[in-house]
A and B are shown apart, each in its own frame.
Chain A
Amino acid sequence: MSSVSPTDPPQTSLLRSRIFRLTLIYLCLFSAVVLGLVGFIYWSATASVTRQIDKTIDAEIRGLAEQYRERGTVGLIQVIQQRVGAAGATPGLYLLTDRNLAPLAGNLSRWPDVAPDPDGWVTFPLEFPESEGGGLNFGRGRVFELSGGLYLLVGHDVRERTRIAAMIRETLAWGLLAIIGLSLVGGLLMSRSLLRRIDRVNATSRDIMAGDLSQRVPVTGRGDEFDQLAGNLNAMLDRIERLLAGMKQVSDNIAHDLRSPLTRLRSRLEVTLMERHDEAAYREAIERTIAEADGLLKTFNALLSIARAESGAPRQGFAPVDLAAVVRDVAELYEPLAEERGLTLGLGEIAPLTIVGDRHLLFQGLVNLLDNAIKFSPAGGQIALSLTRSGDRACLAVADGGAGIPEAARAQVRDRFVRLESSRSTPGSGLGLSLVAAVARLHDGVLRLEDNAPGLRAALLLPLGKRSALVESAAAASRAAVRPEQDRPSPDYCGTKPAAGSKPLAGV
């Protein structure tokens, strides 16, 4: 088979198809088995007929020998003549000769030339008279030497056996022909139907290679392996399409969101250059330009971090991370800032959970959530950080009492650069939540944005590994002894509302 390339003809040739070849191989094996089986039947049937004939001959010889003993040569001749008379209907052969092998009685014209075997059995050619249909056949008989120096031959012609053998041979031939014919047709039909489905997959692939990524492999709905293959291919295509769309979105957004600050930067420099300034004014213009460039770099760095997290590359450096320590560190780092803004940063339940992940990225993710909460909380508001176990996942939640995010916009804000109109006035690249979502995906988790009524609760749900589950199970057991079952947070809801159960950070 030649390798598959886009230049291959659109239809796979039937004779070159693997399926058809397999069918042919199967057909050959099957035919050989049938041939062997029928051959055995043929052999055992003819052997059985031969045994039957031999028995009959034996019995007749014994009968004739009895007659000879009782009635002598004359009686024997009489009996033979009687039997020969009746032998028109039976296949019996008889011949009685004197010691010189000259025929005395019987229906054979002369003594056969073939020498008998030690038991007296002999098979000889036999020519039938025209009256009996003519033709050449074989006779089988037994030679017997009588006491008076006479020779007796009793036999059967084997036309019956030949007829059965011919019948079996004929049946075998037709049967084989039918099997081969049916298998060929069946194989062709089967190959064609399989080929058609494979060709559909190939045709779709070629369309996609030609650039139409919206094509999908048709699914018949039979749920067979071809449907599974088609389903998997389609899922793969969906993912690729989403990634491509994401990339396009990113480049569009970069073009859009970075063009304006770059333009601003450029025109500021241009204007500064045109106007005559003293050194202080130049310095100020340059400083503002540097600040703006720093902002741009920040945006680029955020984009890079997202891209890296989404590529999965940081997985190589994954190590056990004490989530409780990360939460405490974040809280400790941000508590003064929250306080300065007149906000209360509280710690809810902090469960001793460990996951395998990237410590710095998890820290960054939590920081971004906290940054958002601080940014959008009104003065006097409360922000609660919590780390709870939710089923087999760790739930890192940041809840605030700010403006929240409207239900419809929640999925949207996880996309890059999406900033709700209401937040346009606050600084930020609009990449914060996208990075958190990317970090969540990197750790096989999800970012969930929920209504905190009022405000927003952002929860990072991260699956706990087996290792951490073991560490946690002991802690859970001891906790269960103290806490009634219904007090456990339900898997759907995690995190703590600032109003309930959180205490302000004291003395950090």
Chain B
Amino acid sequence: METDIERQAPARPALSRPPRDGRRLMRILVVEDDAETARFIAKGLQEAGHVADVVTDGRQGLVRAVGEDYDAAIVDRMLPGLDGLSVVETLRGTGKDLPVLFLSAMGSVEDRVQGLRRGGDDYLTKPFAFSELLARLEVLLRRRGGEGVETVLRTGDLEMDLLARRVKRAGQAIELQPREFRLLEYLMRHAGQVVTRTMLLESVWGYHFDPQTNVIDVHISRLRQKIDRGFEPALLQTVRGTGYVLRVPD
């Protein structure tokens, strides 16, 4: 890389491909010192309809994050100049609540806890699948939408009453086990966004681990049986190679 700052997505091509779901274009700051990884992330984000600015140095990253208006930042932990943790901590110190996703090779539970405690919103361990990164990033981008205020979640004709803990589809009550309820709640809160299996394990089951079998798939298919069987259209869809999405098909 010739310069430490490289604008990966000039205004021209970013608009040539409209963002998915017709959402507005997101500007994302990528602070990553490995040129190859940075290029790959920027390319992927561009494909997904976002604009990515790549910075390879921690200090530069902090300057850009504070001075410019980004929708989210992806920050590596080990950076030249200033390490990722300090970048985010300082950023939070300035009062900026820009969503930050840590991307790091340091993947132990303690490392994750440290990253989240110091101001990160999510933590992804290298090596990672880009689909996982994108899914998590989009959840972060949407999180600003005032989560937790609603008492009723709706996706199409599926309705979840969070207070009464009741689920209805097309006015018809659906009986769910507690875990199925939480699984559906998570999917509904992130309706329209791809959620990965790891995200579900972390958020719904609360364990960070690596299943040998696709144990989540069975839970999803059980849930699908209850919410989609006998109804049209099917809301709970599988995204091949990545995870699931709950949405009303176009």
Contact = CB atoms under 8 A, between A and B. Distances in A.
Interface of A: 287, 290-291, 294, 297-298, 300-302, 304-305, 308, 313-314, 316-317, 329, 332-334, 336-337, 339-340, 358-360, 363-364, 367-368, 371, 374-375, 428, 432, 507-508
Nearest to A291: B241
Given A302-B210, A317-B108, 16 more contacts: A290-B241, A297-B127, A298-B210, A300-B127, A308-B108, A313-B108, A316-B110, A358-B109, A359-B207, A363-B207, A364-B209, A364-B210, A428-B212, A432-B212, A507-B177, A508-B177
Most buried by A among B107, B179, B213, B222: B213
B177 A334 contact: no
11 contacts: A287-B241, A298-B210, A316-B110, A317-B108, A333-B205, A333-B215, A336-B219, A337-B213, A340-B218, A360-B109, A364-B207
B104 to A, nearest CB: 13
Interface of B: 107-110, 113, 127, 129, 177, 179, 205-213, 215, 218-219, 222, 241
Contacts of A304: 107
Contacts of A508: 177, 179
Interface SS majority for chain A? helix
Given A333-B205, A337-B218, A371 B107 contact: no
A426 to B, nearest CB: 11
B219 A294 contact: no
A358 B109 CA distance: 9
A337 B212 contact: no
Given A294-B129, A308-B108, A360-B207, A374 B213 contact: yes
What DSSP secondary structure best describes chain B's contact surface? loop
Nearest to B217: A337
Contacts of B215: 333-334, 336-337
Contact of B205 (A298, A329, A358, A375): A329
A305 B219 contact: no
A305 B211 CA distance: 13
Nearest to A360: B208
A336 B110 contact: no
B218 A367 contact: no
Contacts of A371: 211-213
Q: Which 10 A-B pairs have the closest CB atoms?
A: A336-B218, A364-B209, A371-B212, A317-B110, A337-B218, A363-B207, A360-B208, A337-B215, A340-B218, A297-B127
B212 A368 contact: yes
Contact of A367 (B177, B206, B209, B219): B209
Contacts of B113: 317
Contact of A360 (B129, B209, B212, B222): B209
Contact of A314 (B110, B206, B210, B241): B110
A314 B205 contact: no
A332 B219 CA distance: 10
A119 B241 CA distance: 124
A447 to B, nearest CB: 17
Contacts of B211: 367, 371
B78 to A, nearest CB: 17
